[in-house]
Structure 1
Amino acid sequence: MANQLNLSIDRSSPVPLYHQVVQGIESAIHTGLLPPGSRLDNEIDLAAQLNLSRPTMRKAMDELVRSGLLVRKRGVGTQVVSSQVRRPLELSSLFDDLSNNGAKPTTDVLTFSHDEADDATREALNLPQGATVYHFTRLRKVAGKPLALMENWVRDDITPLTEELLGSQGLYSVLRNAGVNFRLATQRIGAVVANEYQATQLDAAPGSALVTMERTAVDDTGRNVETGHHVYRADSYSFEMTLVQR
């Protein structure tokens, strides 16, 4: 495996030996030489191939696991993790982010209704008693692989929504085309373990990790336009953010 990856160790380099291994395997993953799901030789064999000590090789592999590039699975060994969709933390939709990055997302509309809002939805969207909303659940896929299970509630005084429309376009694109100028959103990101329904829809194992996102978006007139609860496969999805000192 080490020879196949063209890993070489320069013992005269000031770069620590374990980090040279990390750099070599990172490069192989990013260039596609090690595609997602690839299995690596065990640490003893890799250490022997590179003439390194086992502790040095273990340190390198530990670093790659911590960085999310490799995963250790009992009975399987060490594998390259599935490539992730990395989404910046900004006021945009998943559909737009995927499309802008060259992906071709597809959407299955699982449920769709136009009903009176419950108390939680009226509070989230600041609606009066008796107001009605669109309520729907969608499954977003990339290359045929399930990525996100999304449940949303949208006020119905902006534009008519249909299953066909939501199946062909992103929600924010539909609302922007109807004249909505998004201004801000409150958002909460967390994690859960998949229940039976989520696991089935996302083609994941029950109990596997999911990333969660709850958001309520506001337009430039101060209207709470939509609110949603989304879950994403943690092995395929992450949020990126930039932190600044204040």
Structure 2
Amino acid sequence: MSAAAHVPPPTPTERVVNGPTPKHAQLREILRRSVERELPPGSPIPSERELAQQYGVSRLTVRSAIGKLVEEGLLARVRGKGTFTAARRMELQLYLMSFTDDMRRRGLAPATEVISTSTEVPPVTSAHALGLAPGVPAHRLIRLRRADGVPLAVERGWYHADRTPGLLELDLTRSLYAQLADEFDLRPDHAYQTVWAESADRETARLLGMRTGTPLLVFRRVSSANGEPVEDMTSWYRGDHYQVTMQLDRSIPGSDTINSTEQPHYGGTR
């Protein structure tokens, strides 16, 4: 084993043996325990050849075990360098806060790259969300968001042009919510947000530095200020860096209605 690999030698209870549980599943759980209990984020793991020798299994078995942990976001492959323990997932906050403020609150350095801007007629769903009549244009803004240099999210948003005149002439690498407040006296105070999972398309994967088809968390948020819709934004977040935790409570005693609110504690990375 190389000096850079830190997975300890197997104990008698961590050996891969013949039995009803497939060897790749046994090895996967051994590696999972090592990653979760002993290895900090960014630690290298042994090569496939070294793990195969260490646990007495084939390289195909090792590849299968590692591949599953990569899919789960516990390990990350870096081309030409090897496999490393992934950064712990950040909790994705479900309250109204700008990405810039959220990253600074976490002690990370936020950065924004403007991919494109335009003023054009939005799709019907966005026009409806913004309260626009058919054929009325809106501002279109696409940005890539980073934290400590790591690309985390792609944002594609539509903005009500009449309520945000000159929006696209502003410094859009800065916090958009701060500029909405400063320039237009608009402070988003209410939003509807929908969450789903999606595989990265080619363009989104390219921007995030990921493979096409990689799992993403997608959030569509329609935000209002003073009771008027201002923003219809969809954000694609890296699934290997984020997770969402919610606390479920019955909102009305004796009813079957369940409301969900974000539980404000960390379980990984944002």
TM-score, with normalisation over the residues of structure 1?
0.70
Q: Distance in 2 between matches of 1:234 and 1:163?
A: 32
Task: Find the residue that maps to 1:82 and give its secondary structure.
Answer: coil
Please name the residue that 2:227 is paired with: 222
Q: Distance in 2 between matches of 1:111 and 1:244?
A: 41
Letter in 1 for 2:202: E
Q: Note the alpha carbon deviations across 1:125-144, whole angstroms, 9 max, x for none.
A: 11234433110111111222
Q: Distance in 1 between matches of 2:76 and 2:155?
A: 30
Contact conserved, 2:205 with 2:212, CA < 8 A, in 1? yes
Task: Find the residue that maps to 2:127 and give its secondary structure.
Answer: helix
Between 1:128-137 and 1:206-215, the stretch displaced more is 128-137
Number of aligned positions between the proteins? 216
Which runs of 5 or more structure 2 residues have no equivalent in the other structure?
12-30, 56-64, 252-270
Letter in 2 for 1:206: T
Letter in 1 for 2:172: L
Please name the residue that 1:212 is paired with: 218
Please name the residue that 2:201 is paired with: 195
Letter in 1 for 2:217: V
Q: Note the alpha carbon deviations across 1:209-236, whole angstroms, 9 max, x for none.
A: 11111111122x3111100111111112
From 133, 136, 147, the equivalent of 1:131 is 136
Please name the residue that 2:14 is paired with: none
Please name the residue that 2:146 is paired with: 141
Letter in 2 for 1:121: S
Which runs of 5 or more structure 1 residues have no equivalent in the other structure?
10-20, 47-60
Tell me by how many angstroms 1:120 deviates: 2.6
Q: Distance in 2 between matches of 1:205 and 1:163?
A: 33
Q: Note the alpha carbon deviations across 1:42-84, whole angstroms, 9 max, x for none.
A: 59958xxxxxxxxxxxxxx9xxx6xx673498xx998522333
Q: Distance in 1 between matches of 2:74 and 2:123?
A: 44
From 167, 179, 182, the equivalent of 2:185 is 179
Q: Residue 92 and residue 106 in structure 1: after superposition, are their counterparts in 2 closer, same or farther (change >3 A)?
A: same
Contact conserved, 1:155 with 1:225, CA < 8 A, in 2? yes
Alignment of 1:1-246 (within 5 A): 26=36, 28-29=38-39, 34-39=40-45, 42=51, 70-71=74-75, 79-159=84-164, 160-162=166-168, 164-167=170-173, 169-177=174-182, 178-219=184-225, 221-246=226-251
Letter in 1 for 2:41: P
Q: Residue 80 and residue 126 in structure 1: after superposition, are their counterparts in 2 closer, same or farther (change >3 A)?
A: same
Tell me by how many angstroms 1:207 deviates: 1.4
Percent identity between matched residues is: 26
Q: Distance in 2 between matches of 1:201 and 1:25?
A: 28
Tell me by how many angstroms 1:206 deviates: 1.3
TM-score, with normalisation over the residues of structure 2?
0.64
Tell me by how many angstroms 1:90 deviates: 1.1
Q: Residue 119 and residue 245 in structure 1: after superposition, are their counterparts in 2 closer, same or farther (change >3 A)?
A: closer
Letter in 2 for 1:195: D
Tell me by how many angstroms 1:25 deviates: 5.4
